[in-house]
Structure formats: structure tokens, C-alpha cells
Amino acid sequence: MLAALENGVQGGTWFSLMDKVYAPDNLRSSFEQVKRNRGGAGVDHQTIEEFEKHMDHNLTRLHESLKGGTYRPQAIKRTWIPKAGGKEMRPLGIPTVRDRVAQTALRNVMEPIFERDFAEHSYGFRPGRGCKDALRRVRALLDEGYHYVVDADMKKYFDTIPHERLMQCVKHRIADGSVTKLLWAYLEQRIMDTASSWTPEEGTPQGAVISPLLSNIYLDELDHLMAASQAEMVRYADDFVILCRTQAQAEEALNRVRAWTAHAGLTLHPEKTHIVDATQRGGFDFLGYHFERGMKWPRKKSLEKFKDTIRSKTRRTHGSSMERIIATLNPTLRGWYEYFKHSHWNVPPTIDGWVRMRLRSILRKRAGRTGRGRGNDHQRWPNAYFAQQGLFSLQEAYTHARQPLQR
């Protein structure tokens, strides 16, 4: 297969792939990937640990069912999790461990075939690429004078991909009937909620390992359409911006996107899709950041999600020692800093001050006083006190990262 990928196959279409999907080595490797990604049990209540206890037996059964054509995916368990920065809930699908292994094996075979032709400006769910690469590209384009930005938002993209059209995209490269039959089985997986179950008529399966690849395959045509234009697109899954040098180019790009999405059976959100001049007030959001007037900082929802996490760990009635509270905060602070360390210089000290206020409020409560940490509390518990307790400082990390290396 690797040799064929290097040299190409006749007509660019693969006719024999299923044997590579159910190959024992591929299934074993796929389980290891599922194990690393963790995740809960599906409708069969089997955990990753329980699957691993009888791994040889479970993988052998999976191999035989995939090879014999008797494999059928089980229903997806639907749960609800809070949306970032708000009180709304969004659905999360949890396939069984067995199905996650099978989907990973299928993705391992399909991904290299489509990766060869995916556009350069696509960064989401691709090997060796990530959010930071996409953000660097946006920053570089803004610096090069691409100030007019089409800030686009697809309405419920993953839930509305038309099945037939998606499968036509897959069949441009894969003509193995066993593989396409397996993909159809995943697209038509039943979804089980606490009170009901149903079969989706459109969209990619929720929480499925294969969904990100399928979503990239469906948007590949749009990627190449924009690559052939004067505009510069940067896409991460269904989140994308198109950067242009002029207002006219941006309007033309938006018209192209509107025409393509209408043809593809998708919908642009009318209130969230617009053109902005990034050199003016207002700016645009992308992958957690807000870009405006040559600067960037965490977007409002990212900041609220972060603060909600910190609030949950710093309630005034917290009974643990300050040292222990800080120990639970530090991983969150370090992780958040690592992603947002390229923000405007005033972000780290502002966040540090807010976190210390939360901690002073705990100490103030323990001293029998009401309200949040303020006034003389800054002298009673100065910044140095929290540093001695081991509190991670975004400002110190930010300053240290910008010091010249000592030769």
C-alpha cells in the first residue's frame, strides 16, 4: 500500500482495501490509539480496561466479523456537555470501544489516500498539523497585508453533511464495496439518548473516530476552489477564515463560499458570517483567539471557559490548604498559558491578578470577613506569598519566554 501511495494507483481509485482494515496488526495498533485517547464506555458498558483484559479474544472476534462481513456497529450513546463560555449544552456521542477500534483501523487505511491531495491550508485533524500552525498562518497573512477577512460560520456542519454526496466524494478515491458498506453503516448508526433512539438521515456520526476525516473529505472541494482564487483560506475542520488584500476580493470570496455551500447542501450562519477589516475595531475570532488591529488576545468565550474552570477550583468555602488548592490550579494555568502565550502583553498580568483575587477571597473568608479579596488584603497576602506557595505566574512565564537566550 505504501508503495502504491508513492507511485499512485491506476485511475487514482482504490479497489481493494478491506483486507488492510481488518489486518491483525492494524487492529492491534488501532486499539493502542483508542487506549491513548481514553474515553468512556458505550451502550454495551464495556470500558477500555475491560476490553484490554481479553484483548486477543476481542480483536480476533473483530477481525473475523470484519473479514466475514458480519460486523455491525452498535448504537452511539448520547450524552450532553456544557458549551464553552455558556450555560447551553451540546451533544456528545460515545461509540463502543469495539467500534472505536474498528473506526480507527478504517481511518488508518483511508487517511493516507486522501492526505496526498488535501489542500495546504487545511489544518484540522491532520497528521503533523494543529491549531497553532493555523494561527501562525493567519498571523503571517495579516502581517503581509491580508486585512480583509471573511469570517465564516457553517451552521451545524457536522450534523448536516448530506450522506449521498459525502459518499460520492469518498468513491472518487475508494471503490472497495466492503469499505463503502462499512462507512454507510457508520453514517446510519443509531443514536441512543436516555429516553429515545433514532437513526440520523444526515451528518457524520457523533463522537466517531472517522468523523473528522469524513468532514475534511467533504470540504476538500471548497479548499481547492479557494486555493485557485486570489484569496487565502485557513481552515481547521469547519472553522475557517478567508483573508484577502481588498474588500472586493473578500466579497468575491464570500460569494464563492455561499454558492458552494448552497450546492453542497450546507448552510452559512447569516448572523455570524461577515467581512471585517482586521485593522479596525471589531476584528474576528479564530480558534480561541480574537484578532484586531495587529493584536490578538483570548476571545470572550475562551476567557469565560477558563474563568469558569478556575472558579470551580477556588470557591471561598474550599476546605483544602492553600498549597493544595494552588497545586490543582497550576496544571490549568500552565495549559492555558501554553496555548494563549502569544496574546497581547497585558493579558498575563490581568489573568494573574484575577487568579490571586480568587485566592485572597478564600483567605479573607477564613479570616471571618466577607466579600472578595481587595484593599489591605494585598498587603496581608502579597503576590510574593502566592509565589512562595508555588502559584504559576503567567506574567513570569511570559517575561522569561521573551528574554534573549544567554550564550
pLDDT of residue 86: 60
Mean pLDDT of 311-323: 95
pLDDT band at 407 (very low <50, low <70, confident <90, very high): very low
Burial class (CB in 10 A: 0-12, 13-18, 19+), 35: middle
Residue whose entry in the numeric block shows the C-alpha cell 478564600: 362
What is the percent of the chain with per-residue pLDDT over 90, rounded to a whole number?
85
Output 123 or 195, whichever has higher pLDDT: 123
- Say which DSSP state 275 is in: E
- Say which DSSP state 78 is in: E
pLDDT of residue 406: 47
* Overall size of the chain counted in residues: 407
The structure's pTM equals 0.91
- Give residue-wise pLDDT tens across range 52-66: 999 999 999 999 999
**171 and 162 Cβ atoms separated by less than 8 Å:** no
Distance CA 369, CA 110 (A): 62
- Give residue-wise pLDDT tens across range 280-303: 999 999 999 999 999 999 999 999
Which cell is 193 given?
439518548
312 phi and psi, to 5 degrees?
A: -65, -20
